[in-house]
Structure formats: C-alpha cells, structure tokens
Amino acid sequence: MNKSRLAAMFLGAAVAGCGVELEQPKSLTFEEFKAQALHEEDDVYVVSGDTAVQGEDALREMFNEYLKTEVGDIAQRQDELALYRLNGIDQKYDSTRKMNLTYCVSSASFGSRYSAAVSAMANAAAAWEAVAQVNFIHASQYDSNCNQYQTGVYFDVRMTTTTSYVARAFFPNGARSGRNVLISTSGFTMSGPVTLTGVVRHELGHVLGMRHEHTRPEARTCYEDGNWRALTSYDSASVMHYPQCNGSNTGDLRLTQLDINGVRAVYGAKQ
Ligand SMILES: [Zn+2]
C-alpha cells in the first residue's frame, strides 16, 4: 500500500488534548532539530513538512525561530498526547456530556455487517472507558432510524462505500449533522495487523478531541496544523499516530500508556 493510500486510511479530522504542566519544559538541541529535518540533496533541509531551507546556517536560523516559539508553547503545555485546540480553547466535552456520549448504529446502512459494526464500536469504546471518565452508550432503539438527523443520540454510526478512507469521525461539540462516525465497506475486509476495532479506537480518539499524533513536529512528516495542545511527550506508537507517518507501532491500533495518560489529563482517570 503506498503512502498516500495509507495516509487516507483514517479520519481527516484533527484534535488535540490537555493535561498537566510539564515540570521541566525541554526544547530540542540544534543537533536534534537538525536530525529531525529531512536532509535532501544539495544541503537542502525540509522542516515543518513542506518548508525547505538551504544550508546549515539557514537551518540554524530556523532553529532559533523554533526556540522562540517553543518556549511560549511549552509554557502552555500539560502532559502530552495532543488535544484539539481552536483559538486558545480546548475542544473537549463538559463533565455531563463526557459520560453520556450516546450513539446509534445504522442497521439499514450496515446490513449484513451490522453485528460486526456494533461489536467494533463496543470494543473500541470500552478501551477508552476502561481508563478515563468517559462513557459511550449504544442507544440501540435508534438503530433502525440512525442518521445525521437523529436527535435521540449524540452521534450516529453509518456505513459508506467511499474509497477515500476506511473510517472518519468528528471533533467535540460540532453540529449534530456533522457528528458521525462513518465506516467504509473496506473496513470489513482489511488484512494485516490493523483491525476494524483498532481503526474505531483511533476514530473514537478523535471523537474525544484527540489530534493525529503525527501532526507533531517530532514525526517529521504528515504535519497538519498547529491547532492542538500537547498532553504528553511525543508518542510514535500512539493510537492516534498513523504507522505510515514514521510511526513505530507495527501491530493493531491500541492505546499506549501515553495515550492513557493523555486522555486522563483531559477527562480524569476512571474512578
Ligand atoms: Zn485520524
């Protein structure tokens, strides 16, 4: 599978997280910064995904800029993972909603795949619920009329035949019509280590406000934007990190200890 196809595998949404203050903010050294830049031919370095600079002197200037912004950013940071943050506001649920994330699973759209979809959602939700104060509730009475207009649930889960992604989700607090988890038919025929449940674990991370971990500079690729706040140190094995974006996870998508620390920093540990 090529990189662009892999990159399209999951959700296009972006989220970040919140946490606890880093006691010892740490910036990269120049050597670490240089090592993270993509070194192309003719002494060209690519930083931030798509910004090229030529020569080590230019790279050092970039590094000085990085230091200026990092100091300010880190002062705002809490323990990492990365939570969606827009205009300085964390995108997350309040104490009532986080325990009442109701959803339906469309029996009409999933058809023969309905049971598999119900199981994947339940198992994926359980992984987040086991570690943090969040609660997903399958309101199955709405499954026969489960769409983007169903107001009896917080979000709907439906099947799509798109080939652009395996699944996609949403970030907290959007309009009802946009609060959907869509699973492609391709999600039911995947081979390899990543399962449908693993993909949905990732998608529910977005639902809880988590951004792609690979948008962080340490990934050195797949940068999206800066609308996030670090919750933990960078985690190349995060459930929110695409393996194909310099990720280190070679198995199914699962919550790492840093993922657990991060979601707890936003919603609290499961009591
Ligand atoms: Zn995603």
pLDDT tens readout for residues 179-225: 999 999 999 999 889 999 999 999 999 999 999 989 888 898 888 88
The pocket of ion ligand 1, defined by CB under 5 A, consists of 10-11
| Strand boundaries in 98-236, DSSP class E | 101-105, 136-138, 155-160, 167-168, 180-184, 228-232
| Strand boundaries in the chain, DSSP class E | 38-40, 44-47, 51-54, 81-86, 89-90, 101-105, 136-138, 155-160, 167-168, 180-184, 228-232
Query: Are the beta carbons of 256 and 239 closer than 8 angstroms?
Result: yes
**pLDDT score of 140 more than 90:** yes
**pLDDT value of position 212:** 94
Query: Are the beta carbons of 188 and 119 closer than 8 angstroms?
Result: no
**pLDDT value of position 57:** 73
Cα separations in angstroms, 78 against 20, 101, 148: 4, 25, 35
> How far, in Å, CA of 260 to CA of 127, rounded?
10
**pLDDT score of 113 more than 60:** yes
Question: How remote is the CA of residue 31 from the centroid of ligand 1, in Å?
Answer: 31
Question: How remote is the CA of residue 64 from the centroid of ligand 1, in Å?
Answer: 31
pLDDT band with cut points at 50, 70 and 90 for residue 64? low
Ranking 117-121, 195-199, 243-247 by mean pLDDT, the lowest is 243-247
Q: Which residue has the higher pLDDT, 115 or 218?
A: 115
pLDDT tens readout for residues 8-61: 344 333 322 222 222 233 466 788 777 776 664 456 554 433 233 456 776 776
Q: Which of 67, 82, 3 is closest to 30 using CA atoms?
A: 67
Q: Per-residue pLDDT averaged across 110-118, rounded? A: 98
Contacts of 40 (CB under 8 A, 6+ apart): 46, 52
**81: β partners:** 232
Question: How remote is the CA of residue 219 from the centroid of ligand 1, in Å?
Answer: 15
**pLDDT score of 130 more than 70:** yes
> How far, in Å, CA of 92 to CA of 203, rounded?
15
Contacts of 217 (CB under 8 A, 6+ apart): 36, 48, 223
- Range ranked top by mean pLDDT from 23-27, 29-33, 75-79, 81-85: 81-85
Ranking 24-38, 59-73, 235-249 by mean pLDDT, the lowest is 59-73
Give the ranges where 20-152 is alpha helix by DSSP (H).
Answer: 30-36, 56-76, 107-110, 114-129
Q: Per-residue pLDDT averaged across 75-85, rounded? A: 61
**228: β partners:** 84
* Residue 186 burial (10 A CB sphere; 0-12, 13-18, 19+): middle
**pLDDT score of 157 more than 60:** yes
Q: Which residue has the higher pLDDT, 106 or 46?
A: 106
**52: β partners:** 46
Question: How remote is the CA of residue 196 from the centroid of ligand 1, in Å?
Answer: 13
Question: How remote is the CA of residue 37 from the centroid of ligand 1, in Å?
Answer: 24
* Residue 112 burial (10 A CB sphere; 0-12, 13-18, 19+): exposed
Question: How remote is the CA of residue 208 from the centroid of ligand 1, in Å?
Answer: 12
Q: Which of 215, 245, 247, 241 is closest to 229 using CA atoms?
A: 215
pLDDT band with cut points at 50, 70 and 90 for residue 105? very high
Ranking 142-146, 197-201, 246-250, 252-256 by mean pLDDT, the lowest is 246-250
Question: How remote is the CA of residue 126 from the centroid of ligand 1, in Å?
Answer: 18
Percent of the chain with pLDDT over 70: 75
**pLDDT value of position 63:** 67
Question: How remote is the CA of residue 69 from the centroid of ligand 1, in Å?
Answer: 26
